[in-house]
Amino acid sequence: MSILELEDVTKTFGPDVVALDSVSLRVERGELFTIVGRSGSGKSTLMNVMGTLDTPTSGTVRVDGQDTSGLTDRETTELRARSIGFVFQSFHLDDGQTATGNVMTGLLYAGVPRRQRRALATEALERVGLAHRVGHRPPQLSGGERQRVAIARAIVKEPAIVLADEPTGALDSRNGDLVMAVLERLSAEGTTIAVITHDLTVAARSARRVELHDGVVVDDGAPADAGARVQHATGGGR
């Protein structure tokens, strides 16, 4: 069973703006793939639809085998809390909490008993190489370490898929490489990860690249020449 399936998904805004046009994707367990495209190509809209933050105008979205079209708002929220992890460019960490406390918040809506959250958070931080930073607060961490805390928060509930929106966008090249190495290792361990990016270096590291242009998937695969296939992928998405 595929972790994520989109079938002929279209998303429009008003009568004139087609953000996604008949997009179909199938994502298998353990894949790490990138979504690329120039500004306005529909990357962010696609991420929001994949993450159930927005609903398609038409088409079908299945997350972990669950068709999302017939779900109530509450059921959609529960599915998102259980099956989808998010990582953002700006980290979204609470400066007043330790790394452990921030990761524990990823379990608040997943139905995990409080007594189990700390142990799971500590384990997740160990997986991203931050066992020595569990008691540190975000201001005491480097940008790369903060992003790894955010990744630990996303994976702590063992979601079906992690959606990482420009995870290296606020980092220098060294820390960006460290974050991508963590994501690659997590993928090798079985975590399914989608990286939305305009960074050619990040895109070139992925075995699978989904390229969008004006809301249409114009390429889905591993290019022979990564630079040529993603050279126009500059700027953010919708």
pLDDT of the residue at 232? 37
Q: Within a 10 A sphere around the Cβ of 169, how many other Cβ atoms?
A: 17
Residue 4's pLDDT is what?
A: 96
How long a stretch of residues is the chain? 238
Q: 4-229: which CATH architecture?
A: 3-Layer(aba) Sandwich (3.40)
pTM comes to 0.88
Give residue-wise pLDDT tens across range 37-89. Answer: 988 899 999 999 999 999 999 999 999 999 999 899 999 999 999 999 999 99
What is the tens place of the pLDDT at every residue in 94-109? 999 999 999 999 998 7
Phi/psi for 232 (5° steps) reads: -95, 5
Whether the per-residue pLDDT at 231 is higher than 60: the answer is: no
Query: Of 49, 92, 78, 93, nearest to 159 (Cα)?
Result: 78
What are the start-end ranges of the E strands in 28-95? 32-36, 58-63, 66-67, 84-88
The tokens describing 174, both together, are 């060294």
Q: What is the pLDDT of residue 236?
A: 44
Residue 139 CA, chain-centre distance (Å), reads: 24
